[in-house]
Amino acid sequence: MPKRTVPVFNIEGEAVGEVELPEVFETPLRPDVIKRAVVALQSHRFQPQGRDPMAGKRTTAPDHNWQTGHGIARIPRIRDSRRGAFIPSTVGGHAAFPPTPEKKIRKRINKKERRLAIFSGIAATADKEVVSRRGHIVETVKALPLVVEDEVQSLQRTREVKELLMNLGVWPDILRASKKKIRAGKGKMRGRRVKRRKGPLIVVAEDLGISKASGNLPGVDVVEVKNLNAELLAPGTHPGRLTIWTRSALSMLDELFGRRSG
């Protein structure tokens, strides 16, 4: 069966050749495996938290209660007082089952499942329907997957990267990603006030300056192909991220992910 070919674009957005897609792009979509891999990655960033074992227990109440005959509940009460304390149902009492720092919160995933999640995430970047369903603006994009010349890796200025994205028809998606949303709920008070969207992912074989040049563009991430993971390809567990590949990064996929699993 002949391999699918896609055009290669230069910085001006002109097609200058074609390239065959590696075998990994034929991997079937597996959103279930992708979700497992992304959640496992996210769990590695969680910080263990617990409560002081003596919280709510520094009181004289455990040694004193009024016993029967007083017409009130037989709960621990502070010495020389009617006030209840210590137990969970009293004001200032200890929590019933508080969080403990010993809880196992790191999730693990099998190596073959993790690789399959990456393969499936890569393949989803070439499916226009999946990319569009994720929320990206693809009507103006010249091709999927987007493949560009290696000179893109050496861009040093934000203005140059902006011109590249405009020439490739990706700029409308940057404007979409620039819109912020104020989070609902108490997260606004806990350092998570603004929710930001994800824009295009640029995959390079070698970072020669483009990551720094893209730093101020909203939603844009740059990653070397050897560091690809499921969360970059499917942020929030949703596959189909709009992705731009350099020609050399695309050719390295056969070397890094040549043998498909699953």
Residue 211 belongs to a domain with what CATH number? 3.40.1370.10
Identify whether 233 is part of a domain.
Answer: yes
Contact (Cβ atoms closer than 8 angstroms) between residue 9 and residue 148: yes
Q: Is the Cβ–Cβ distance between 60 and 78 less than 8 Å?
A: yes
pLDDT tens-place values along the chain, 262 residues long: 577 899 999 999 999 999 999 999 999 999 999 999 999 999 999 999 999 999 999 999 998 888 889 999 999 999 999 999 999 999 999 999 999 999 999 999 999 999 999 999 999 999 999 999 999 999 999 899 999 999 999 999 999 999 999 999 999 999 999 999 999 999 999 999 999 999 999 999 999 999 999 999 999 999 999 999 999 999 999 999 999 999 999 999 988 876 544 4
Would you say 146 and 125 are in contact if contact means Cβ atoms under 8 Å apart? no
**Domain region containing 21:** 5-25+105-257
**65 and 157 part of one domain:** no
Query: What does the DSSP assignment read for 217-233?
Result: STT-EEEEGGG--HHHH
Query: pTM for the complete prediction?
Result: 0.85
In a domain, 37, yes or no: no
Final residue before a domain boundary, out of 38, 70, 104: 104
Is the same domain home to 144 and 56? no
32 in any annotated domain: no
Domain boundary residue, one of 71, 86, 104: 104
Do residues 216 and 171 share a domain?
yes
**Do 111 and 214 share a domain, yes or no?**
yes
Count structural domains, the chain: 2
> Are residues 67 and 191 both part of a single domain?
no
Domain shared by 99 and 140, yes or no? no
Distance between CA 177 and CA 173 in Å, rounded? 6
